[in-house]
């Protein structure tokens, strides 16, 4: 059974982020812990990255005939335990790595390349002992069938 287009794009983006390692010339090894499911809900013991889709829109809204174009918005969440002496520095380096990786051309399955939109930095959100960054991204594709 083929993946839904949204799932295929999500997996392709996660695979691209897995290339973020110091061995590949990046600041961090963020790519060693990239996932698309929130299987761990506790406080992380190491840096981790979660990729998710947050909404899907029909493009060209308001036209007479239905549009087959779709726009996806998502988030790449980076979390580092606040107990590290350099937690914010690690988040800033990891965010820079993701920004760099997204600026490189990564062909998505039947979709436009993922585009970086914005980053929000969170220092101990809601009292949680983590430092985080939420990187917002977008892409688009044409619905077939």
pLDDT in tens, 73-117: 999 999 998 888 899 999 999 999 999 999 986 677 788 889 999
* Burial group, residue 135, by CB count within 10 angstroms (0-12, 13-18, 19+): buried
Taken in order of first residue, the domains within the chain and their CATH numbers are 5-142 (3.30.2000.10)
Taking residues 4-30, what's their average pLDDT? 94
pLDDT in tens, 24-47: 999 999 999 999 987 766 778 889
pTM, full prediction? 0.87
Residue 86 CB neighbour total at 10 angstroms: 11
C-alpha gyration radius of the chain: 16
Which tops the pLDDT comparison, 30 or 69? 30
The pair of structure tokens assigned to 89 is 């520095």
């Amino acid at each position: 059974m083929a993946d839904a287009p949204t799932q295929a794009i999500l997996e392709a983006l996660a695979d691209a982020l897995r290339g973020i390692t110091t061995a590949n010339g990046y600041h961090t090894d963020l790519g060693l812990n990239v996932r698309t499911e929130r299987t761990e809900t506790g406080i992380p013991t190491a840096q981790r990255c979660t990729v998710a889709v947050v909404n899907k829109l029909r493009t060209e809204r308001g036209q007479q005939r239905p549009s087959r174009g779709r726009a996806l918005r998502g988030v790449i969440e980076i979390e580092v335990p606040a107990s590290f002496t350099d937690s914010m520095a690690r988040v800033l380096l990891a965010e820079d790595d993701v920004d760099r990786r997204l600026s490189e051309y990564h062909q998505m399955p039947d979709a436009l390349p993922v585009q970086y939109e914005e980053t929000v930095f969170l220092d101990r959100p809601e009292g949680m002992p983590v430092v985080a960054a939420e990187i917002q991204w977008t892409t688009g594709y044409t619905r077939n069938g």
